[in-house]
Amino acid sequence: MTRPAPSFFGSLRARLLLFLLAAIVLAAGAQAFVAYRTVLKEADEIFDYHMQQMAMSLRSGLPPSSAVGGIGGAEQNFEFVVQVWTADGVRIFESAEQAALPQIAVLGFADVRARGTTYRVFSMQTRSLVIQVAQDMAVRRQMARALAVRTIMPVALMAPILMLVVWWVVSRSLAPVARVRRQVAARQADDLSPVGEEGLPDEVRPLVQELNLLFERVRHAFDAQKHFVADAAHELRSPLAALKLQVQGLQRANDDATRALATGRLAAGIDRATQLVEQLLALARHEASVAGGAAAEPVDLPALARLAISDVVAAAQARRIDIGLDQADAAVVPGHPEALRMLLRNLLDNAVKYTPEGGRVDLRIAADDNGVEVQVDDSGPGLPAEERERVLDRFYRAGQARTAQAPGSGLGLAIVKSIADLHGATVALGASERLGGLRVVVRFPRRR
């Protein structure tokens, strides 16, 4: 069987990494953008504050060199340009030659176009002077951008480190899941050993536990199937060998009486083999229904008991056995109707088979607060106490007295036990006080 090609988005690790790394990139980008814009705004405010403070510091007087020509080319500072005007419009000081700033400016802050660039100008008026402080906006933006870049640099450096940490954490966290996948992929088809749960996260451990439970159920099913096939092969060998001998005896018969006797033995052997095959098929059907996990439904036990009696009444009448429903309390149990009918039919068939001619078989259904009991009593020879548990095993036949009276396949009560286990019921064998034979009790607990 060809495995489908792995999909990138089908991988939990790939999806986690994709979404987490994308979230880190988006968060870092948003943080860097907000920080960049914030720093630019704050830088503008800081530069404006410095211009304002510089202008206010010049209210008390001018620098020592107050020539109109400025402070000299070698000492020019183009970061800030300072000009001082008299109230008559005469420039008495400038910090940069040929600044070419307007002589009349709006008081306060304003953006002025001069010398092929834009200046940020702050103007204030004293009693006799007008003081202007200007800054080239290109220089301001360059300084602000440098400050903003230095501010967002830690974010830019931490984002890749955080991405590597996330990559490592996700890979390490999902390593046990990958280990489980490798374990399951590497095992053979008949390897149903439990998968290791060490180090698994809490979200994945229940899945692996359910997988181990599934492996356990499948292993039990395989073991039961192997045992069933081995036991069936062993049990079919004897009746088939007997049929072969009976056919040979029929072939060697010289007269009609011997031929009739051999024919009767052959017919009886065929009947026994047919019964064994039917029981094997019934057991196989029941186990298949259990493996299929069919849903339970309410089952009316008294109605089902009447159907089961009708299934065996012909065999009982042929041996003049009185069979009937002695007590039938109203009882409904959750279960599988066909399986429960097989349980009742096998109980009655087993009782009829081992009850002498002219005997009696009673079926009783009693309900109380603790549950429902199904009792089958017969007037047969009963069973010794040491064999009452063993007859519930597959292919086990009772002692010589019962085997000689009615040889069987050893599957009837085993099927009863299997069906009872399926329905959470218990099977107990004992002596019948009323009829003197065997009593089989199947008890269904009360479901709350």
**pLDDT tens digit string along 374-424?**
999 998 888 877 776 767 765 555 554 444 445 555 566 777 887 888 788
Beta bridge partners of 429: 440
* Under 8 Å between Cβ of 171 and 199: no
Ranges of residues in the chain with a pLDDT under 70 are 1-10, 60-79, 96-105, 224, 227-228, 230-239, 275-276, 279-280, 282-295, 388, 390, 393-412, 447-448
pLDDT of the residue at 235? 59
Per-residue pLDDT tens for 41-61?
888 888 888 888 888 888 766
> pTM for the whole thing?
0.48
For residues 150 and 29, what is the distance between their CA atoms, to the nearest angstrom? 15
Contact (Cβ atoms closer than 8 angstroms) between residue 62 and residue 84: yes
| Angle CA 341–342–348, to nearest 5 | 90
The residues pairing with 85 across neighbouring beta strands, listed in sequence order, are 91, 130
Cα separation, 44 vs 148, in Å, equals 12
Answer yes or no: are the C-beta atoms of 361 and 418 closer than 8 Å. no
**pLDDT at res. 405:** 47
Give pLDDT, residue 61: 63
Give the pLDDT of residue 284: 67
Q: What is the pLDDT at residue 67?
A: 43
